[in-house]
Chain A
Amino acid sequence: MKNLLEIEKVKIRFRTKGMLKAVIDRDKDPYIEAVCGASLTIKQGETFALVGESGAGKTTLARSIIGLVTPSQGSIRYRDQELMGLDDKSFKPLKRDIAMMFQDPVGCLSPRLSVRSIITEPFKIHGLPINDVTKEATKLLDMVGLPASFLNSFPYQLSGGQARRVGMARALALSPKLIIADEPTAGLDVSIQGEILNLMYRLQHELNISFLIITHNLAVVRHTSDRMAIMYLGRFVETGPTDEIFAQPSHPYTKVLLSSSPEPDPDAPRNRVMPIGEIPSLINRPSGCEFHTRCIYVEDRCRRDVPPNRNVGLDHDMTCFKSE
């Protein structure tokens, strides 16, 4: 089965200074690299998790898939069609297949439109006629477990969980093949996080939709994703099947991340790898292996050279000098 989405060596950079200021500061390279060479593949019907802390570049990478951000290098292919360099007109039909759910559940909904208008917006954008708007909208709400009474509500009247569902209904409108969910559980109480995740699983199962979940919540990742990638300062440090990575984390940063989410049990064993220091700023990237400033296994070569990408299992890669 061919891959649904293929990202290859994508680099994304942002300008930090305007031309004038760059000249005044004699800054020849006024850019930060938000993503430096990311590669991953997503198959049909699978859930892929992109994990990392702030500055990792996960949201930036996700946004480049739907064209909100333009990479400076690399290739993004949807079903073998190259998305990089595509003009707006050619990209537009593909946006029926790839939908995105945003981090701010209420903020991503147009404030002056009713829920009915919001979730049928994709039809209007693509010029697809709807015979009965209310019927179509009710059907979408039903798919996400909301009653039709919500059709006339406005975003400010919705709770976080309800707004997320509306965002999902909108994402489902044109029967996408891939949904990118940016922090789908952020801000939700633990007792209702499951609602949105279970919904995603059901949709994956029933409609064979693939999900790319962006999150920093490792516990969620463990239960809901098939494969995952861990990002640090714009690079993938470890990629592979979720079960394997949780059972046997290879990269030191993965180990640190897993240790940073203590289990809700006062007597849980504490075989922790404690993190040192803070995430460096993207403006002053560390030399060599960029994690070396916080790594307990750091050696001299880590400060000098960039570690290679090594295969440590089936479809399981990581970038580190240290061998297990």
Chain B
Amino acid sequence: MNEVNTKPLKERSATRNLVSHLMKDRLAIIGLILVILVTSSAILAPMIVPHNPNKINVRNRLKGPSVENWLGTDQLGRDVFSRVIVGSRIALQVALVSIAIAGSCGLLLGMMAGYGSKKLDGILIILFDTIRSFPTIMFALAVVTLVGPSLNTIILVVIVTSIPVYGRIVRTQTQALKHNEFILAEKAMGASKLRILGVHILPNVIGPLLIIASMDIPVVVTIEAGLSFLGLGVRPPTASWGSILNDGYAFIRNTPWLVIAGGAPLILTTLGFTFFGEALRDVFDPKLRQEVL
């Protein structure tokens, strides 16, 4: 056989491209650092808390930052810093669990809607849009009234309200892919619907979903904080950033540090995950351009 055009055109591996690209993006690095900070705090929480976050010491209440208590103490003398660290665990637990479940359900339903029959698509779309037309807060209040406030309530609310959003995103992506030639090729070879969805469509639609989902983490954290602030979330004495904010709001004239302690981690988490999510978008788009859309 005569010599053939054998050199692959773009030799650099995708991973090398990705890493070098990310290194150039300062915001991405800041985001990554913040994400690592919050995540490690959440994971290592019980090991790194300097004090017992629930230990009450009323004599020491509402003190400002000191060597003993880096962020001071709250109205019951509990160490605020320790509570913030525990709060990170709650925040991420809620966020990751609810987004993971909502994402998986949204992925499945979205693919079914995008690839399945028109009837199935129609039913799912009506379902999605009905849920989306409910204001989240109203829905949360309704659920809380029925089931009582708790971490699981928040998780449930977030899951139910997020599934339609993720579902629609995945549906659109799936529809766009459905008519691509490589899907046609798979059909021509006899691939089953399940195989096409699982092996060929899923990896190509999961990208945008992951990006949106990662940018939703701070949103969910904020929702949790908000609901806890309103007293509809975690029950005392559990430390959540929202409940710290709630306390801080009540005692703001005594010390501003409670509000700062509750608010600052929220801001940092939001910024961190947002920058990181933007960097993820770059990961999935031009460099590894898979010509999906």
**Chain A interface residues (CB < 8 Å from chain B):** 63, 66-68, 91-92, 95-96, 99-100, 102-104, 106-113, 121-122, 124-126, 145-147, 149-150, 153-159, 161-162, 165, 167, 170, 192, 195, 202
Q: Please name all residues of chain B whose beta carbon is closer than 8 Å to the beta carbon of A96 when the two chains form the complex.
A: 190
B188/A162 in contact, CB under 8 A? no
A95/B186 in contact, CB under 8 A? no
- What are some 6 contacts across the A-B interface (CB < 8 A)? A96-B190, A106-B291, A110-B186, A112-B290, A195-B5, A202-B1
**Chain B interface residues (CB < 8 Å from chain A):** 1-2, 4-6, 8-11, 14, 180-182, 184-192, 195, 199-200, 203-204, 288-292
**Nearest CB on B from A194, distance (A):** 9
B5/A192 in contact, CB under 8 A? yes
Contact of A107 among B1, B8, B180, B190 (CB under 8 A): B180
Further 14 A-B residue pairs, CB within 8 A, beyond A113-B200, A156-B289:
A95-B188, A102-B181, A106-B291, A112-B290, A146-B6, A149-B6, A155-B290, A156-B291, A157-B10, A159-B5, A162-B6, A165-B4, A192-B5, A195-B4
A125/B195 in contact, CB under 8 A? yes
**Nearest CB on A from B71, distance (A):** 46
B200/A110 in contact, CB under 8 A? yes
A156/B10 in contact, CB under 8 A? yes
CA distance A126 to B290 in the complex (A): 26
B10/A121 in contact, CB under 8 A? no
CA distance A99 to B190 in the complex (A): 10
A104/B181 in contact, CB under 8 A? yes
A126/B6 in contact, CB under 8 A? no
A102/B203 in contact, CB under 8 A? no
A-B pairs, top 7 by smallest CB distance, nearest first, are A111-B290, A95-B190, A108-B181, A92-B190, A107-B181, A112-B203, A108-B185
A111/B5 in contact, CB under 8 A? no
Q: Which of B8, B14, B200 has the most CB of A within 10 A?
A: B8
CA distance A149 to B191 in the complex (A): 27
B187/A111 in contact, CB under 8 A? no
B4/A146 in contact, CB under 8 A? yes
Contact of A100 among B11, B188, B288, B290 (CB under 8 A): B188
Q: Please name all residues of chain A whose beta carbon is closer than 8 Å to the beta carbon of B203 when the two chains form the complex.
A: 112
A121/B289 in contact, CB under 8 A? no
Q: Which of A110, A121, A165 has the most CB of B within 10 A?
A: A110
B182/A109 in contact, CB under 8 A? yes
**Nearest CB on B from A215, distance (A):** 17
**Nearest CB on A from B244, distance (A):** 43
Q: Please name all residues of chain A whose beta carbon is closer than 8 Å to the beta carbon of B188 when the two chains form the complex.
A: 63, 66-68, 95, 99-100
A102/B184 in contact, CB under 8 A? yes
Q: Please name all residues of chain A whose beta carbon is closer than 8 Å to the beta carbon of B186 when the two chains form the complex.
A: 110, 121, 125
Chain A residue, CB-CB nearest to B1: A145
Q: Please name all residues of chain B whose beta carbon is closer than 8 Å to the beta carbon of A111 when the two chains form the complex.
A: 182, 204, 290-292
**Nearest CB on B from A235, distance (A):** 25
Chain A residue, CB-CB nearest to B206: A112
Q: Please name all residues of chain A whose beta carbon is closer than 8 Å to the beta carbon of B5 when the two chains form the complex.
A: 159, 161-162, 192, 195
Q: Please name all residues of chain A whose beta carbon is closer than 8 Å to the beta carbon of B291 when the two chains form the complex.
A: 106-107, 111, 156
Chain B residue, CB-CB nearest to A104: B181
Contact of A147 among B2, B6, B11, B190 (CB under 8 A): B6
CA distance A100 to B190 in the complex (A): 11
**Nearest CB on A from B68, distance (A):** 54
CA distance A146 to B3 in the complex (A): 10
B181/A153 in contact, CB under 8 A? no
Q: Please name all residues of chain B whose beta carbon is closer than 8 Å to the beta carbon of A192 when the two chains form the complex.
A: 5
CA distance A91 to B191 in the complex (A): 11
CA distance A161 to B11 in the complex (A): 16
CA distance A95 to B188 in the complex (A): 7
CA distance A234 to B288 in the complex (A): 40
**Nearest CB on A from B56, distance (A):** 55
CA distance A155 to B187 in the complex (A): 19
B190/A68 in contact, CB under 8 A? no
B14/A122 in contact, CB under 8 A? no
**Nearest CB on A from B207, distance (A):** 9
CA distance A157 to B8 in the complex (A): 6
A153/B8 in contact, CB under 8 A? yes
CA distance A91 to B184 in the complex (A): 16
CA distance A41 to B38 in the complex (A): 69
**Nearest CB on B from A5, distance (A):** 15
**Nearest CB on A from B284, distance (A):** 11
Chain A residue, CB-CB nearest to B6: A147
**Nearest CB on B from A92, distance (A):** 4
CA distance A100 to B6 in the complex (A): 23
**Nearest CB on B from A73, distance (A):** 22
Chain A residue, CB-CB nearest to B13: A152
Chain B residue, CB-CB nearest to A112: B203
Contact of B189 among A95, A156, A159 (CB under 8 A): A95
B8/A103 in contact, CB under 8 A? no
CA distance A100 to B181 in the complex (A): 11
Q: Please name all residues of chain B whose beta carbon is closer than 8 Å to the beta carbon of A159 when the two chains form the complex.
A: 5, 9
Q: Given A110-B200, A156-B289, A195-B5, does the pair A103, B181 have CB atoms closer than 8 Å?
A: yes
CA distance A147 to B292 in the complex (A): 27
